[in-house]
């Protein structure tokens, strides 16, 4: 698969949303992000698994029907799903979905779901044919996933042991770095990454997400952010499609909004808009 985006062990690589009403979610996200959809599970499967694409490239999936409240889920690429689940369990995580093959005859990959010591759910993905998200950091595509935690220091210790992550203060916030990820990107799909990020903080090319303290009333979880071309247009579309806008904000780099889809899953839309660019 020439030019395909691949993910080294320890890098967040995939997202999906579990919904009670899959068709309603397809309508919402297709309208919001311009996604198209392909059924990946056979008709006789107990749940649907629908791959979302943007310009023919995988961006996410919608699954269900689900009994639990709708949510967005993030997955970390691992070399060996069974070994990774065992390692995480040894560190105090709970395996809530044991490693199992995905796709026809397991050709897509192998996955598991764990909850960390605070109860934040995280998927593990050992890729085979499905390598992970192929369109990122462009309008309508996944930007990153952040860990929202009550104890950032304890979370940093846990995930460093689990995946070898570095949790560092990069000035704009607490970042998750996977050592060597920038080298991987430079050698594969992003040869100009270091030139483009020449003025960025040290190690920025290795960043895969961030860590944030919980807000009032919030539970520990992995939170998903999508890139949009225009935040105001995106929030208007959310409301027109039956979703809700919970809050909006601006910082030195982005205009963003926290929103909720009609099924109840929350996520952030973010427009890259550095202030010095006007």
This prediction's pTM: 0.96
- Residue spans of the domains in the chain: they are 12-277
Helix (H, G, I), strand (E, B) or coil at 49: strand
pLDDT digits (tens, 9 = 90+) for 145-181: 999 999 999 999 999 999 999 999 877 789 999 999 9
Do 147 and 155 contact (CB within 8 A), yes or no? yes
Q: How far apart are CA 127 and CA 138, in angstroms?
A: 23
Q: Which CATH architecture has domain 12-277?
A: Roll (3.10)
Provide the terminal-to-terminal Cα distance of the chain, rounded to the nearest Å: 39
Q: What is the pLDDT of residue 276?
A: 58
Average pLDDT of the chain is: 94
pLDDT digits (tens, 9 = 90+) for 250-274: 988 899 999 999 999 999 999 998 8
């Amino acid at each position: 698969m020439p030019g395909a985006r691949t993910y080294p062990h320890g890098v967040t690589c995939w997202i999906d949303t579990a919904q009670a009403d899959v068709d309603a979610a397809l309508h919402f996200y297709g309208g919001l992000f311009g996604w198209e959809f392909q059924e990946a599970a056979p008709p006789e499967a107990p749940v649907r698994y629908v791959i979302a694409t943007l310009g023919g490239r995988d961006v996410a999936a919608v699954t269900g029907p689900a009994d639990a409240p709708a949510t967005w889920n993030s997955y970390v690429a691992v070399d060996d799903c069974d070994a990774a689940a065992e390692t995480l369990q040894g560190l105090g995580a709970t395996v809530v979905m044991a490693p199992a093959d995905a796709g026809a005859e397991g050709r897509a990959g192998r996955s598991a779901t764990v909850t960390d010591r605070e109860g934040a759910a995280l998927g593990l993905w050992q890729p085979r044919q499905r390598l992970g998200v192929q369109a990122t950091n462009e309008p309508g595509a996944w930007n990153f996933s952040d860990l929202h935690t009550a104890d950032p220091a304890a979370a940093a210790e846990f995930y460093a042991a689990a995946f070898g992550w570095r949790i560092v203060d990069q000035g704009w916030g607490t970042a998750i770095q996977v050592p060597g990820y920038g080298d991987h990107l430079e050698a594969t799909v992003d040869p100009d990454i270091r030139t483009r990020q020449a003025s960025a903080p040290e190690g920025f090319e290795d960043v895969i997400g961030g860590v944030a303290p919980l807000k009032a009333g919030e539970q520990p979880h992995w939170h998903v952010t999508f890139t949009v071309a225009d935040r105001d247009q995106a929030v208007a579309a959310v409301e027109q499609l039956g979703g809700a806008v919970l809050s909006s904000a601006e910082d030195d780099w982005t205009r963003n909004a926290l929103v909720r889809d009609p099924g109840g899953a929350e996520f952030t839309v973010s427009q890259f808009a550095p202030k010095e660019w006007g």
